[in-house]
Amino acid sequence: MNFAYFLFLSLFSPLSPQDKSAPAPASNAQSIESGKSNFRVNCSFCHGIDANGGFRAPSLVSGHFSHGDSDDAMLSNILHGIPGTAMPANDIDEPTAREIIAYLRSLQKTSQPSASGNPEAGRKLFFGAAYCSQCHMVQGQGGRFGPDLSRVGAMRPREYLIESIRDPDAQLTERFVAIDFGTNPPTYELVTIITGQGTVFSGVVLNEDSFSIQFMDNREKIHSWLKSELKSVVHEKRSPMPKYTKQQISDEQLDDLVAFLTSLRGDRQ
């Protein structure tokens, strides 16, 4: 073999080291299963047990990430963290991180397509006939009773949003708190309080400990009590949000609303 022919093969062969687009070896089932276990140990507290996200950290099932979609970008984010965000560096080795990436890639293959509705029609529903903005805020506009949805498109997958609208009691949304020492984070759960004078309030808890409770009622008024002053505090185990049936919002309107919500990705949309 002459030198010119060898040089041609080394530069243009699909197996050449210079070919950056050559596909990586397919992940096997064992790697994916190991990645699932390692994800749940290292990542699920913020990203959710099935990587569906929460208000601590975004969903990871879409395959579209604000800080890079490639395996190399994901690897760097896992190992070194993301400056300027709550994502920390992780004390794990590279093979473990790559198994986590293999697991996340396996979830993306089964994720559903994005909403096909009209985001602008969904925006009008959100701020209009569906009354979503009475409780939810988007980019500074709306209510404070429910979670801020300014980045919900990055935080939650489409399937979760549909379920939250049709059946809000199915999964109670976590409430983000600046300091959280527990393994059971507070949620946007309906709570009923009866004061010592017999007055009944319903709303959501902002903070609670063994001796006191801070509470927002459905008019967004904040109350603070010592528990010794109250007759009862009942955690209802259900969402304050009403269920939107097909009679209230049609499937077509739901698709528009979800299209609007999935477009909300904060400063990076």
Q: What is the mean pLDDT of the chain?
A: 80
Taking the model in full, what pTM does it have? Answer: 0.65
CATH number, span 27-110: 1.10.760.10
Pick the range with the lowest mean pLDDT from 15-19, 48-52, 155-159: 15-19
Give residue 22's pLDDT: 38
What percent of the chain stands above pLDDT 90? 35
Q: What percent of the chain has pLDDT over 70?
A: 79
* pLDDT confidence band for 228 (50 / 70 / 90): very high
Residue with tokens 């400056």: 83
Return the CATH class of domain 119-168+245-268. Answer: mainly alpha
Average pLDDT over residues 247-257: 95
Domain edges within the chain = 27-110, 119-168+245-268, 191-235
Residue 206 CB-density burial (10 A; 0-12 exposed, 13-18 middle, 19+ buried): middle
Buried-state track 84-121, b at ≥16 Cβ within 10 A, e below 16: eeebeebebeeebbbbbbbbbbbbeeebeeebebbbeb
Q: Do domains 27-110 and 119-168+245-268 have the same CATH topology?
A: yes
pLDDT at 10: 42
Q: What is the mean pLDDT of residues 205-229?
A: 90
